[in-house]
Amino acid sequence: MVEGRADGEAAAQLSEAAQAELLELCEEHFGRLEKLQNEIILSESDYTENSQEQSVNGLIATEAEMKLWLSAEPSLLAKNSEILLQAGKEEMLKLCSELELVVSCYEAKRDKLTETKELEQKWLEEKKQVLEAAENQKERLKMEKETLSGQSILLDTKEKILKMKTYQEKLMETLGDVLEVHVPLLQHESSSSKKKKNIGYEISEDLISLSEILEVLMNKVLNTPHDPYVTIDHTFWPPYVELLLRHGIAVRHQENNFKIRLETFF
């Protein structure tokens, strides 16, 4: 509405002579348009009589006219400076309106990009904070690792070994107590031939207890795991050996019946 009012005010600023000249130019060009329209109508009637020939001639004429218009210099519709100034103003107003629309579009795009940039910067700052925290954690762990010297690691290992030995001794004591209650030590009685006969084995003073047999078997496994077998000698009381074999605590060597070892427990 503002533009229409501006155009009306601009047209009112033209003098009567300029308006008359502009109307005369418009009537002249309108007459030329009517003449061209009549020629087109007449050429269409001729085209129906010999369509192929007319088509070729029309195409040649159109190409020649197109080349002529391309090579021709553009001419002004009016030479009146007042009319040209007014036309320039109108064209300038139209161009300004289009440029304002372009500026508005680019401002909206700029605002959108600014918002996206702020979000990306916020995301970048958060990632930087996470990275910084990770780097600090890395440096802290590195410093802690450097402070742990070889001596401290050795002391820690010795402490663990000592605890394991203490635990092992406690287990061995508990095992000895259980065996002492349920499997007491044998007593040598040389005068009691009746007991010897009933037992079926001669009791020697060199016999070791069941707990000692188990200790020998365990030490053999720990000291020489590649060769865990122990040779049965006169100190091993046969009933003890049979007890261990029958209850799956020990097993015999496949090739030598006088060798036994502890069963592998998982």
Q: Is 54 part of any domain? A: no
Does 198 score more than 60 pLDDT?
Answer: no
Asked if residue 8 belongs to a domain, the reply is: no
Q: What does the angle CA 17 – CA 23 – CA 28 come to, to the nearest 5 degrees? A: 125
Residues of the domain holding 241: 192-262
In whole numbers, what is the pLDDT of the chain averaged over residues? 79
CA angle 112, 116, 121 (to 5 degrees): 145
User: In angstroms, how far is the first alpha carbon of the chain from the final one?
Assistant: 97
pLDDT in tens, 81-125: 777 777 778 888 999 999 999 999 999 999 999 999 999 999 999
The model's pLDDT over 9-23, given as tens digits with 9 standing for 90+, comes to 544 556 777 777 777
Whether 199 is in a domain gets the answer yes
Q: Between 29 and 47, where is the model more confident?
A: 29
More confident of the two residues 33 and 130: 130
Sorting pLDDT into bands at 50, 70 and 90, what band is 156?
confident
Angle CA 199–202–205, to nearest 5: 125
Q: Are strands 259-262 and 230-231 parallel, antiparallel or unpaired?
A: antiparallel
For residue 213, being part of any structural domain is answered with: yes
Reference 77, options 7, 28, 11; nearest CA is 28
| Measured distance CA(86)–CA(11) in Å, rounded | 8
> Phi and psi of 261, rounded to 5°?
-150, 165
Specify the pLDDT at position 97.
92
Distance CA 109, CA 116 (A): 11
More confident site: 221 or 154: 221
pLDDT over 80 at 67, yes or no: yes
pLDDT at 9: 52
Number of domains in the chain: 1
Domain presence at residue 210:
yes
Q: Is 252 within a domain?
A: yes
Give pLDDT, residue 63. Answer: 83
Amino acid letter, residue 257: N
Q: Given a cut of 90, is residue 202 above it in pLDDT?
A: no
Q: In whole angstroms, give the CA distance from residue 119 to residue 111.
A: 12
Strands 230-231 and 250-252: unpaired
pLDDT at 133: 92
3-state helix, strand, coil in the chain (%, to 5): 75, 5, 25
- pLDDT tier at 3, thresholds 50, 70, 90: very low
C-alpha span between 158 and 152 (Å, rounded): 10
The answer as to whether 34 is a domain residue is: no
pTM above 0.85, yes or no: no
Starting at the edge strand found earlier in the chain, the sheet holding 259-262 runs: 230-231, 259-262, 250-252
Host H or E run for residue 261: strand 259-262
Domain assignment of residue 218, yes or no: yes
